Amino acid sequence: MSLQLPEAFEQKMRELLEEEFEAFMESYEQPKWQGLRVNRLKLEACDFQRMSPFSLTAIPWCAEGFYYADGERPGKHPFYHAGLYYIQEPSAMTPVEMLDVRPGHKVLDLCAAPGGKSTQIAAKLAGSGVLVSNDLHPERVKALVKNIEMAGVRNAVVLNEHPARIADSFGAYFDRILVDAPCSGEGMFRKDEDMVKHWSPQRVCDYAGMQEEILEAAAALLKPGGKLVYSTCTFSPEENEAMIASFLGQHPQFEVVPLSPTHGFQSGRPAWVTEKQTDQAEHGEQVGHAEHGEQAEQVGQAGQVSEPSEETGARQEAARLETAGTLRLWPHLVEGEGHYVALLQKMPDAQSIEQANTEVRTASVDSSYGTDRSGKDHGKGQGRPRKQEIRPLDTEERERWHAFASSVLDQTKTAESIGQTDKPLISWKQFVYECPVSPLLLSGLKAPRPGFFVGELKKQRFEPSQALAMGLRPEEVQQVISLDMADERVIKYLKGETIDISDFPHIQKGYGLICLGPYPLGWGKSMQGMLKNAYPAGWRWQ
Ligand SMILES: C[S@@+](CC[C@H](N)C(=O)[O-])C[C@H]1O[C@@H](n2cnc3c(N)ncnc32)[C@H](O)[C@@H]1O
C-alpha cells in the first residue's frame, strides 16, 4: 500500500473494527470516489444529466449527487463557472440530506467553509428563508463567499466568527443547524494525504475540545423543536459517538433522531463509547480540553471529583445507547470516504436558554474579506479590519440604485423584489447588500457578507456585483447576451477578454448579462458592438 498510515491509527482501528479491519485496510488500495452535486437553484438534476459532458452515475443518497469518472475535470468547465454544480465528495453530501431543510427555514451552517454543505442547504431553501454561513478562519471564508456567490444564493449572510459570539447575538433563532465540525480527518486519508501527516492521538483530543465548544454554542442557537446535524469526516469514537453521548448527557432537552442505516451506511457504535470516556464526560474532563457548564459544576472546590449521582449515571448510559441511532459511513462499505452523522432534536417544549438579543445597538460589521468586481478584497490594503456602520441606504443612494435597476433590470420581475421591507437594502462603506435578517442581529459581528451583495455605490452611479449577476435569472435582466457552449467567446469572456457582440444588434449601450444558454456568467458593458468585460479577476478561467 503506497499510503503510509500512522501506526497508532492503524492499531486503534484494528482494535475497534476487529474482523472488519482487513476489508477496511483494503479500501486504501481503491481509488477515491469523486462527485459533483447539481445546483437546483439553477437547474434540475435530470436536465443536467441530459446536457452533461461527463459520464455521471447517480449517488444513491443524494438526488442531485453524481459520481464522475476518473480523468474528468468538471472544475475546468464553463458549466462550473455558471454555478451549475459543486464538486463535492460523495459521503460529504449526507449530513445536509439528513437535516430536513425546507423552504422558509432559518438555517445556520456553523463551520461552513469552503461551502459545499452551505450551497447544498441553499438549494434546499430554494430562495426562501435564511442561510447564515459561518467559519472561523478568514482565509477559508473567502472561498466560502465565492462559492455562495457562484451558486447564485440570494438569501445568505456570511459570518467569520466564534460560534459563542453568534449565540450571544442571535439566541435561539434557527430552525436547523449544521455543525460540520473541524476534526482529525481520518475519513479523508485516502483523499488528502496531508491529513495523514498531521494526524496524532493528541490532535484527536484537541479536536474533541473544539467540537464540544462549537456544539455548546449550537445548542443555544437552536429553536425548541429545531433539528441539528453534527457531522465529522473522522472515525475516532472520541469525536463521534462519545461526543454525542457527552452532549446528550449535559443537554437533556436534546435527543437523537434515529437515522436508518440504508445505502450501506452503518449504525453508530455505542459500544465504542468506553467507560473511560463516559467517566471523563461525567466528571467534566473530556480528554485534552476545558470543562464546561454542568460538567464543571461537579468538580469540587479542592479540584476533587464528586461521584456522579445515580440519575446522572443513568442519563449518561441512556445517552450512550442513543448513539446507535447515528450513522457511520465506511470506505469499505460505501462508494465514498469516511463520515459520521448524528441528527439531534431540541424538544419542542424546551425552554429557550438563550433569548435573541433585543437590545437596539448600532449595527456595525467588521469586513476585510470577499472580492468586489475588480477582484479586490473589500477593505483590503487599508490596514486592519475597521468597524463601520451598516445602515439603510439614504435617499440619494436609493436613487442611484433605482436608476440602475430601472435601466438594467426588468423591474416587473426584480426591482420590485430586491430591497423590499423584509430584506432591506443596507450599505457598508460603498458596498450594498440585501439583508435577509434584521441588521441588528449582525451588530458587532464580523460579517464579510451581511447579505446578498448587490453592488457598489460609485460616484453618481451604481455598479452591479458579480454576485448579483449570478443570483439573477435572464428574464430579470433587460439585455441578455446568450452564448452557446460551442461559442469560443464563452472562454474568451471567462478569461476576461473584450468580446465582439456585433451579431447581437439589439443590444444597446450599457450593461448586459452574459449567459451560457440560460445560465448567467457575469456582466459586460456594451458599446458599438463590443462588450467590455466585467468578469472579476479572481474568478477568471486559468
Ligand atoms: C470540515 S470543515 C467544513 C467543511 C464545510 N462544511 C463544507 O462542506 O465545505 C470544518 C471547518 O470548520 C472551521 N472551524 C474550525 N474551528 C472552528 C470554530 N471554532 N468555529 C467555526 N468554524 C471552525 C474550519 O475553518 C473548517 O473550514
pLDDT tens-digit profile of 327-336? Answer: 999 999 999 9
Catalytic annotation, pick one of 62, 183, 233, 515? 233
In a domain, 1, yes or no: no
| The predicted structure's pLDDT at residue 379 | 38
Q: In the prediction, which pLDDT does 410 show?
A: 86
pLDDT of residue 309: 79
Per-range mean pLDDT, top range of 288-297, 385-394, 516-525: 516-525
Average pLDDT value for residue range 518-523: 98
The share of the chain scoring above pLDDT 70, in percent, equals 85
Nearest to 368 by CA among 376, 360, 357, 359: 376
Same domain, 41 and 126: no
Based on the fold, state whether residues 150 and 246 are members of the same structural domain. yes
The C-alpha cell 477578454 sits at 497
Amino acid in position 350: A
Helix (H) or strand (E) holding 226: strand 222-232
Q: How far apart are CA 90 and CA 530, in angstroms?
A: 43
Assigned domain for 352 exists:
no
Closest Cα to atom 2 of ligand 1: 182
Of 31-45, 198-212, 226-240, 288-302, the poorest mean pLDDT is in 288-302
Going by pLDDT thresholds of 50, 70 and 90, the confidence category of residue 351 is low
Same domain, 72 and 124: no
Residue 469 and residue 513 in contact, taking contact as beta carbons nearer than 8 Å: yes
Exposed / middle / buried, residue 37 (Cβ in 10 Å: 0-12, 13-18, 19+): buried
Examine the domain organization and report whether 225 and 282 are in the same domain: yes
What string of DSSP letters covers 94-144? Answer: HHHHHS---TT-EEEESS-TT-HHHHHHHHHHTTSSEEEEE-S-HHHHHHH
Residues 173, 68, single domain; the answer is no
Which atom of ligand 1 has the smallest separation from the CA of 163? 20
Q: Which residues fall in the annotated binding site for S-adenosyl-L-methionine?
A: 111-117, 135, 180
| DSSP class of 305 | B
Note whether residue 439 is domain-resident: yes
**Span of 27-36, 141-150, 165-174, 239-248 with lowest mean pLDDT:** 27-36
Least confident of 105-119, 346-360, 408-422: 346-360
Residue 456 binned pLDDT confidence (cut-offs 50, 70, 90): very high
Does residue 93 have its Cβ closer than 6 Å to ligand 1? no
CATH number at residue 511: 2.30.130.60
Q: How confident is the model at residue 192 (pLDDT cuts 50, 70, 90)?
A: confident
Flag whether 126 is in a domain.
yes
Give yes or no: residues 101 and 184 share one domain. Answer: yes
Distance separating alpha carbons of residues 458 and 122, to the nearest angstrom: 30
Which residue, chain included where needed, has cell 435527543? Answer: 255
DSSP element (H, E) containing 296: helix 293-297
Query: Rounded to the nearest whole angstrom, what is the distance from the C-alpha of residue 227 to the centroid of ligand 1?
Result: 19
* Residue bearing cell 456585483: 465
Instruction: Using the predicted structure, report yes or no on whether residue 281 has a pLDDT greater than 60.
Output: no
Q: Is the pLDDT of residue 367 over 70?
A: no
**Residue after which a domain boundary falls, among 444, 471, 498:** 471
For residue 282, being part of any structural domain is answered with yes
**DSSP-derived secondary structure letter, 371:** B
Complete edge-to-edge strand list for the sheet that includes strand 519-527: 480-483, 510-516, 519-527, 530-533, 499-500
Q: Whose CA is nearest to atom 20 of ligand 1?
A: 136
The domain of 453 spans: 364-471
Whether residue 428 lies inside any domain: the answer is yes
The answer to whether the beta carbons of residues 325 and 257 sit under 8 Å apart is yes
pLDDT of 446 > 90? The answer is yes
Q: Give the percent of the chain with pLDDT over 90.
A: 76
Residue 283 predicted with pLDDT over 60: no
Q: How confident is the model at residue 346 (pLDDT cuts 50, 70, 90)?
A: very high
Last residue of a domain, one of 445, 471, 497: 471
Q: Does the beta carbon of 185 lie inside 6 Å of ligand 1?
A: no
**What confidence tier does 296 reach under pLDDT thresholds 50, 70, 90?**
very low
The domain that holds 325 is classified in CATH as: 3.40.50.150
Same domain? For 244 and 370 the reply is no
The minimum-distance atom of ligand 1 relative to the CA of 135 is 22
Residue 163: CB within 6 Å of ligand 1? yes
ipTM higher than threshold 0.90: yes
Average pLDDT over residues 98-116: 98
177-188 pLDDT per residue, tens: 999 999 999 998
At 355 the pLDDT is 42
Range list of β-strands (E), 330-467: 339-346, 364-366, 387-392, 425-428, 431-434, 452-458, 461-464
Confidence (pLDDT) at 421 = 59
**Distances in Å between the alpha carbon of 164 and those of 57, 161, 386?**
41, 8, 21
Residue 351, exposed/middle/buried by CB under 10 A (0-12, 13-18, 19+)? exposed
Q: How far is the CA of 16 from the centre of ligand 1 (A)?
A: 27
pLDDT score of 285: 44
pLDDT tops 70 at residue 291: no
- In 333-465, where does DSSP find H-type helix? 395-408
CATH number, domain containing residue 67:
3.30.70.1170
Q: Would you state the pLDDT for residue 387?
A: 55
Annotated binding site: 111-117, 135, 180
Residue 382 lies in a domain: yes
| End-to-end Cα, the chain, rounded Å | 34
If one counts the domains in the chain, the total is 4
Q: Are residues 254 and 150 in the same domain?
A: yes
Q: Is the CB of 217 under 6 A from ligand 1?
A: no
Q: For the ranges 16-20, 65-69, 263-267, 362-366, which has the lowest average pLDDT?
A: 362-366
Mean pLDDT of 435-462: 94
Determine, yes or no, domain membership for 354. Answer: no
What is the rounded distance in angstroms from the CA atom of residue 424 to the CA atom of residue 419?
5
| 214 pocket-lining for ligand 1 (C-beta < 6 Å) | yes
Mean pLDDT, residues 23-40 taken together: 94
Shared domain for 375 and 335, answered yes or no, is no
Q: Are residues 110 and 64 in the same domain?
A: no
The rounded mean pLDDT for the chain is 88
Name the residue of 96, 135, 147 to mutate for ligand 1: max ligand atoms within 8 A of Cβ: 135
Closest atom of ligand 1 to CA, residue 115 = 9
For residue 208, the model assigns a pLDDT of 96
pLDDT of residue 345: 98
Instruction: Look at residue 420 in the predicted model and tell me its pLDDT.
Output: 64
Distance CA 411, CA 493 (A): 27
For residues 162-186, one letter each, b for 16 or more C-beta atoms within 10 angstroms of the residue's C-beta and e for the rest, the string is: bbeebbbbbbbbbbbbbbbbbbbbb
Task: Examine the pLDDT at 460 and tell me if it is beyond 90.
Answer: no
For residue 355, count other CB atoms closer than 10 A to its CB.
Answer: 10
Question: Has 233 been annotated as catalytic?
Answer: yes
Q: 421 and 446 share a domain?
A: yes
Residue 303 pLDDT: 39
Q: Which three cell numbers stand for residue 95?
A: 449530513
- Predicted local distance difference test score (pLDDT) of residue 388: 61
- Tell whether ligand 1 has an atom less than 6 A from the beta carbon of residue 356: no
Report CA(188)–ligand 1 centroid distance (Å). Answer: 15
Answer yes or no: do 333 and 391 share one domain.
no
> Residue 438: which residues within 8 A CB-CB, separation 6 or more?
none
What is the model's pLDDT at position 425?
Answer: 92
CA of 446 to the centre of ligand 1 (A): 16
Please report the pLDDT score of residue 302 as a whole number.
37
